[in-house]
């Protein structure tokens, strides 16, 4: 087969998959809280499944992927119910996940694994590294409402969620374009030989420019979003958010590369044609989401003190 045709086919497949994925994320976020939550429930399950599958391939332990992947979805919905105030249970809903954690520890007493402590450690690693950060997306989605209005559709605000993903995509694009054209100095060669410092700063600059665009209400008007909930964020706040996401998104990518090198695989899965697995596509989100939540809380504290 002609290598040129193969390259074009692979590039086309990757592009089509990427466009469909981006459209699904934007569409589900804009459509409302329930479509967003359903999409990310599938996402959490898929990423956890791939993570536990890679751990199983190391042959150190044998993890029941389905059960513990569903536990991650349970944590996501606990955050969703608590953050959205759709139930009077409030934070008490986390008792459900607490029961899972208690059962997890107790069940290790009866485990027939050679090293049940290592098995427990890997299971908890997946919950902390994947389920918890993605569950924090709920706190971001409902962060802009100081006083809940009692209606989930009124309390939900997709702008911050969209901003998170737009910043990640912009950073990846800027890092790729800059790295390919100017990349000379390796960023972290031991973990990811292709990443360069030039690409990192290129992505950072792209995010700064995007932050300036996000400050304009007209930008969100194009997507049918009302910025009045977030008018207290200054131009500098948006730029700082872009920088924060760029830095921690890059770290998220490096952490996944580190784990895959440890296991000895190139891709986490094959569910996304041309892209690999779900974990491959959302690795940067796993550190960017908690970093964004920290940034928003920090901004709120500073504004209250001033």
- Least Cα distance to 55 among 137, 135, 134, 115 occurs for 115
CB 241 within 8 A of CB 292: yes
Eight-state DSSP code of residue 183: -
Same domain, 47 and 77: yes
Helical axes 3-31 vs 33-57, angle rounded to 10°: 130
Same domain, 136 and 162: no
Per-residue pLDDT of the chain (306 residues; tens, 9 = 90+): 455 554 566 667 777 887 888 999 999 999 999 999 999 999 999 999 999 998 888 778 889 999 999 999 999 999 999 988 888 888 899 999 999 999 999 999 988 888 889 999 999 999 999 999 999 999 999 876 555 556 677 788 888 999 999 999 999 999 988 988 887 888 877 777 788 889 999 999 999 999 999 988 777 777 777 777 677 888 999 999 999 999 999 999 998 888 877 777 766 767 776 667 888 888 999 999 999 999 999 998 888 887
Q: What confidence score (pLDDT) does residue 230 get?
A: 78
CB 276 within 8 A of CB 268: yes
Helical axes 159-182 vs 197-214, angle rounded to 10°: 150
Residue 269, exposed/middle/buried by CB under 10 A (0-12, 13-18, 19+)?
buried
* Domains held by the chain: number: 2
Residue at 6 is within a domain = no
Same domain, 172 and 143: no
Same domain, 184 and 118: no
Same domain, 205 and 106: no
Q: How far apart are CA 234 and CA 159, in angstroms?
A: 15
Residue that finishes a domain, picked among 92, 118, 147 = 147
Same domain, 271 and 176: yes
How far, rounded to the nearest angstrom, does the alpha carbon of residue 113 sit from its chain's CA centroid?
A: 31
Q: Which domain holds residue 123?
A: 38-147
Same domain, 123 and 190: no
Same domain, 186 and 305: yes
In the chain the beta strands, taken as DSSP E runs, fall at 186-188, 192-196
Residue that finishes a domain, picked among 127, 147, 167 = 147
Same domain, 207 and 302: yes
């Amino acid at each position: 087969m002609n290598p040129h045709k193969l390259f074009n086919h692979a590039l086309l497949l990757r592009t089509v998959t990427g466009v469909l994925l981006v459209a699904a994320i934007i569409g589900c976020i804009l459509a409302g809280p329930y479509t967003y939550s359903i999409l990310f429930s599938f996402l959490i399950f898929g990423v956890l499944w791939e993570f536990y599958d890679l751990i199983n391939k190391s042959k150190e332990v044998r993890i029941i992927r389905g059960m513990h992947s569903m536990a991650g979805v349970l944590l996501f919905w606990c955050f969703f119910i608590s953050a959205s105030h759709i139930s009077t249970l409030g934070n008490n809903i986390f008792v459900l996940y607490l029961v899972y954690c208690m059962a997890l520890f107790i069940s290790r007493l009866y485990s027939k694994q050679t090293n049940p402590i290592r098995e427990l450690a890997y299971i908890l690693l997946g919950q902390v590294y994947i389920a918890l950060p993605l569950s924090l997306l709920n706190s971001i989605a409902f962060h802009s409402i100081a006083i809940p209005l009692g209606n989930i559709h009124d309390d939900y605000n997709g702008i911050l969620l969209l901003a998170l993903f737009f910043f990640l995509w912009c950073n990846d694009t800027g890092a790729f374009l800059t790295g390919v054209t100017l990349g000379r100095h390796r960023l972290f060669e031991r973990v990811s030989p292709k990443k360069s410092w030039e690409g990192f700063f290129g992505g950072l600059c792209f995010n700064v420019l995007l932050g300036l665009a996000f400050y304009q209400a007209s930008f969100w008007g194009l997507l049918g979003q009302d910025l009045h909930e977030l008018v207290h964020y200054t131009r500098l706040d948006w730029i700082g958010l872009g920088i924060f996401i760029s830095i921690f998104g890059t770290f998220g990518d490096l952490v996944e590369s580190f784990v895959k090198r440890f296991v000895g695989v190139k891709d986490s899965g094959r569910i996304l044609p041309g892209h690999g697995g779900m974990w491959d596509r959302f690795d940067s989100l796993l550190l960017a989401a908690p970093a964004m939540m920290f940034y928003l809380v920090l901004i709120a504290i500073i504004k209250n003190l001033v």
